[in-house]
Structure 1
Amino acid sequence: MKRLVSWTYAPAFLLGFIACGIWLPDGLILVFFAAIAVSFVTEQWLPYDPQWNHNLGDRRRDTLHALVNESLNAVGLLILPGLTVLLAIDGVWPRGWPLWEQLLLAIVLADAGITLMHYASHRIAPLWRLHAVHHSVQRLYGFNGLMKHPLHQMLEATAGLLPLILLGIPLEVAQLLALAIALQLLLQHSNVDMRLGPLRWVFAWAPVHRFHHMKYGRAGDVNFGLFFNLWDWLLGTAYYREGYRMGLGDLGIGSRPDFPVAYGAQMLDPFKPARTVKEPSLPEALR
């Protein structure tokens, strides 16, 4: 049973809950909470690393991150119709397409914008200071995907959604897109021992994205894509090492082992001078 789940978990989780969202458009919050519950239960039952299931004093903080950032997403959806009226180019969005095709188009376009902002956040110092909050994690589990500085969250959301607003994305598609992004973030940072096979070359799920959280300096500047690995192939940043199992000692920011843990301190950290140390060397198995 566990073997079957490990091979089917990622596509079944994403497609299954998106289908639920399409079927229950007025119950997207309930669908999202159900996805969180399934994520946590499966991580306990089929963990990639059992140590990552242990609370390191970070669960309350991560819950605060999730509440704040998802609340910002909700506010964004509330003002979306007004922004669309003001900015959209009439008649561009293919409203005659089936809903799932419109959602797929939105995912592809948003993925490009978010990925490019993510890439820039590893290249431009002020953006990195904001993004570093996300990279400070010492373990990977579903909620890590929702752990971001709210200013960086807004920058990524703008990069992903502004082109869609200009094209006139309908509210119902935008709501489903927000659900799909939240589901994908749960999958990207999941502690489920999932198997992808050839799908690892296409989808940016946990077995691929874990390498992005390596603490070894620029070695972690790989696998920036949110949904798809296509953009990393184009950027030359795709990376995967078969057989290497990431552990507690591989994660975080190597030059800042004392990165603040508390929520309030993380909110202030981008605006304070940072003390850095020499980064640890890349393990031979990852060279």
Structure 2
Amino acid sequence: MPASLHDWAVSALRMGAWLVLLMAVFVPLERWFGMRGNGLPRRAWRHDLAYYVISSLVPIVVLAVPAALLAAAAQRIVPAALTSTVQGWPTPVRVALAFIVGETGFYWGHRLSHELPWLWRFHALHHSTERMHFLANTRSHPVDMVVTRLFGLVPLYLLGLATPGAAGSGTPPLILVLGTFWGFFIHADLRWRLGPLERLVTTPAFHHWHHTRHDHVDRNYAATLPILDRLFGTHYLPARWPSDYGTDTPHAPTLAGQLMGPLTPGRRPATHPPSTRAGG
């Protein structure tokens, strides 16, 4: 958590710079290569910009304490011999392993957010967008964001591959930047197909099928490595594009209602759309 006003100012400047960069890249690309004549409603833009701010601040404000506690617990649980062995490996090996372990943890956190009703009630907000575009990446409830990230972080802590904060994680800044950018890319309204590369990395086509309203919402959970979906039987990538996005789970029309609704005591968990997947 930032310890001073200066740190908050730096975080705000970084958040603003990212937004300017993202809009400079994706707004013209979506206009040239996306669905034409289907503009995003003004309220949706306002909400997505608000979620961009929320998603930028939540890791700073909310995630720091549980991450530090988990890291401290991991130091007590994990044998020192394992930690020292891992830390003795060459940096490229540790970075590659951290990337694979983190992505696998995220896959299962994401998948369980669909399969467990009490997690879906928070995650459903991310599926409420009915028009894919780059800022849809940030439309997430803070609870959903924290849970999913912890699924990716805990295995890293247990293996001694990361410590709280990007500076201590051992992950090169370039990978962090590319990972952040890729999340916006796969949500973008870009009608591109990348040929053989689609077997190696996730793409807009891959992730758009995950945002379909019914048939394939329980597929394509991976953030960057589609091989995880192949291994766990959830991969789906036909030649065509989806025609219908969104979710039947109801959401309040206001930002406050969307954030507070899943937290309302006594509210029945949102029902996940019934799965139609019959296999991998």
TM-score range for the pair, normalised by the shorter chain length: 0.7 to 0.9
Contact 1:84–1:168 under 8 Å retained in 2 = no
Match of 2:181 among 180, 183, 188: 183
Q: 1:274 to 1:151 in 2, by over 3 A?
A: closer
Structure 2: stretches of 5+ with no match in the other structure: 1-12
Q: Higher helix fraction: Structure 1 or Structure 2?
A: 1
In 2: Cα distance, 1:65 partner to 1:81 partner: 25
Please name the residue that 1:245 is paired with: 241
Q: 1:53 to 1:35 in 2, by over 3 A?
A: farther
Contact 1:44–1:53 under 8 Å retained in 2 = no
Deviation at 1:184, TM superposition (A): 2.1
Match of 2:195 among 197, 210, 220: 197
> What letter matches 1:169 in structure 2?
A
Q: Cα deviation per residue 1:5-41 (whole Å; 9 max; x = unaligned)?
A: xxxxxxxxxxxxxxxxxxxxxx976874464134433
**How big is the alpha-carbon RMSD for the aligned residues of Structure 1 and Structure 2?**
3.1
In 2: Cα distance, 1:238 partner to 1:32 partner: 31
Q: Cα deviation per residue 1:57-90 (whole Å; 9 max; x = unaligned)?
A: 2111112212112212234675567764563454
Deviation at 1:52, TM superposition (A): 5.1
Compare 161-170 and 196-205 and name the one that shifted more: 161-170
Match of 1:212 among 205, 210, 213: 210
Match of 2:90 among 97, 117, 126: 97
Q: What are the equivalent positions in structure 2 for 1:23-34 lying under 5 Å apart?
A: 32-33=18-19
In 2: Cα distance, 1:198 partner to 1:39 partner: 24
Deviation at 1:274, TM superposition (A): 6.9
Contact 1:187–1:205 under 8 Å retained in 2 = yes
Please name the residue that 1:148 is paired with: 140
Contact 1:46–1:193 under 8 Å retained in 2 = no
What secondary structure, in the 3-state scheme, does the structure 1 residue paired with 2:222 have? coil
The question of 1:50 aligning with 2:36 is answered yes
Contact 2:15–2:56 under 8 Å retained in 1 = no
Structure 1: stretches of 5+ with no match in the other structure: 1-26, 283-287
Match of 2:162 among 166, 169, 183: 169
Q: What are the equivalent positions in structure 2 for 1:1-287 lying under 5 Å apart?
A: 32-33=18-19, 35-51=21-37, 53-75=39-61, 84=71, 87-88=74-75, 89=78, 90-94=83-87, 97-98=90-91, 102-166=94-158, 167-169=160-162, 171-172=166-167, 173-174=170-171, 176=173, 178-216=176-214, 218-242=215-239, 244-247=240-243, 250-253=244-247, 255-256=248-249, 258-270=250-262, 271=264, 272-273=267-268
Aligned residues: 246
